[in-house]
Structure 1
Amino acid sequence: MQIYPYCPLKTRTIEVGGLTKVQLIQKLERNFIMMNEYGKRLLSDERFKISNVKYNLETVELTVRNLGLPNGGTTSHIFKRARELGLVLCPLELGPYLRLEYRDQTEGGQGNSVQNQAPVGSVTIASEILSANDEFPKGFYLRRLSDGLWLRGYVADDLHIWDPGDHFIFCKAVGV
C-alpha cells in the first residue's frame, strides 16, 4: 500500500483571502459556481471566517487509502491519521477559493450517488468542523457534473465510514 508522501497525489497552490464574504459570493456567482443548500448554509454562517489579507496555501489531494487506511475510516480517524503524516486541516474559507481555481475536475456523472457515501468524482476538503450538530454541514466538497461546477456542503455523523477510495484535500503544514 502506498502511503503519503509516497503515493499518487495532486498538489496545488491556492491563493486565499482578500475578499469580503459578499465579494466572494459574487465571484462564485460570476463564475457560474453552483451551491447546494448545505454549502450556502456554511458560507452564510457567522462562524465562517474569511481573511481580508491574501495568502497562499499548499494543498494535497489524496485518497483515504493513501493515508494508510485500507478499510476507510471515520472523519476523526482520517483527520488524526493525516496529522500523524504531517498534513493539517484546511481553513474552511479554502473551499470557495479552491472551487474557483480547480476548474478541470473530472466529471462525476449523474445519478450514481449512493446515500451516505461521497459522490463519485467528488473531493472533500478536510477542514475544522463548526458544529457537533449532525444536521449542520461539516464542510465543503467539490464536484463537477454535466451542468457545471459545484461547491457543496455535506453532513456526516461521527460514525460515518469514508470509503478507502474517497478523495480528500489537506494542507501541507507550514515549513514542510
Structure 2
Amino acid sequence: MDHTATQRTFRLTLGSLNQEELTSALRHAGVQLNAHARTLLDQIDVQDGAGQSLTLTEVSVADLGLSEGGSLSAVFAAAEVRGLGPCPAATAPYLRLAWSDQRPSSDAELSAGRAPDGSVTVASPPPSADDEDPKGFYLRVLEGVSWLRGYRCDDEHRWAATDRFVFCQAKTVPAQRVM
C-alpha cells in the first residue's frame, strides 16, 4: 500500500475461521490484543461475511469532508454520502492478519480521548449501544508489534480531522436502462 496517499483502496477476503481458530491465528501471527479487543471478539460473529471479498478504503476524517473532525455518527454519515459504509464486524481481525506493512506509530503513548498516532479505526456497527461497552476495533503497529485493539467512545467524542478509518465501498447497483 502507498503510505503517502491520503486515501487508499485495497481488497480483503474475509476468512471462515471460528472464534477459537481466529484467536489462535492472531496469536500465532504475534498480534497483541487489549482487553476491549478480547471483549469484542467474544461479542461479534467472527464468521460474519465469511468468504466475502471486500473493497476497503482508508480515509482520514478530513477526506470525508469533516475538516474540523466530528462525532462517530457524523463520520459514518459523511462516509455514507461518499459511497462508503461500515464493514462486517469480522473485518478488523482479518485485516490485522493481512496488513503487514501498516505504518508504525511514532508515539508509544496511549491517550484516552484521542486516537493513537498511526492507528486506523475499522468502521463497523457497534455491537452495543451502551457507552461503557467497546464500540469497535482499531489497528496499530507499535515498536514492531502489530496490535488489534478495541476502543470505547460515546457520540460526544470528537474524532480529529487527521484520524484514519477503513470503510467498505458500498456495492453499486447497475443503472436501469430506460427504453
- TM-score, normalised to structure 1's length? 0.90
Which digits, 9 at most, give the CA deviation of each residue in 1:93-132, with x for residues without a partner? 0000000011111111343443200000000011101111
CA separation in 1, counterparts of 2:50 and 2:112?
Answer: 39
Between stretches 153-162 and 48-57, larger displacement belongs to 48-57
Which digits, 9 at most, give the CA deviation of each residue in 1:26-68, with x for residues without a partner? 11111011000000000012x4342484121000001000000
Structure 1: stretches of 5+ with no match in the other structure: 1-6
Partner residue in 1 for 2:176: none
Q: What is the root-mean-square deviation in Å for CA atoms of aligned residues?
A: 1.6
Whether 1:36 and 2:34 are equivalent positions in the alignment is yes
CA separation in 2, counterparts of 1:37 and 1:129?
Answer: 16
Partner residue in 2 for 1:97: 94
Q: After the TM superposition, which segments of 4 or more aligned residues of structure 1 sit over 4 Å from their partners?
A: none
CA separation in 1, counterparts of 2:98 and 2:83?
Answer: 24
Relative to structure 1, the CA distance from residue 28 to residue 104 in structure 2 (aligned partners, 3 Å threshold; closer, same or farther) is same
Between stretches 138-147 and 48-57, larger displacement belongs to 48-57
Structure 2: stretches of 5+ with no match in the other structure: 174-179
CA separation in 2, counterparts of 1:52 and 1:69?
Answer: 30
Partner residue in 1 for 2:165: 168
**Contact 1:73 1:161 (C-alpha < 8 Å) held by counterparts:** yes
Between stretches 48-57 and 157-166, larger displacement belongs to 48-57
Give the count of matched residue pairs. 169
* Matched ranges for 1:90-129 at <5 A: 90-129=87-126
Partner residue in 2 for 1:159: 156
Relative to structure 1, the CA distance from residue 49 to residue 31 in structure 2 (aligned partners, 3 Å threshold; closer, same or farther) is closer
**Contact 2:56 2:168 (C-alpha < 8 Å) held by counterparts:** yes
CA separation in 1, counterparts of 2:12 and 2:85?
Answer: 15
Partner residue in 2 for 1:4: none
- TM-score, normalised to structure 2's length? 0.89
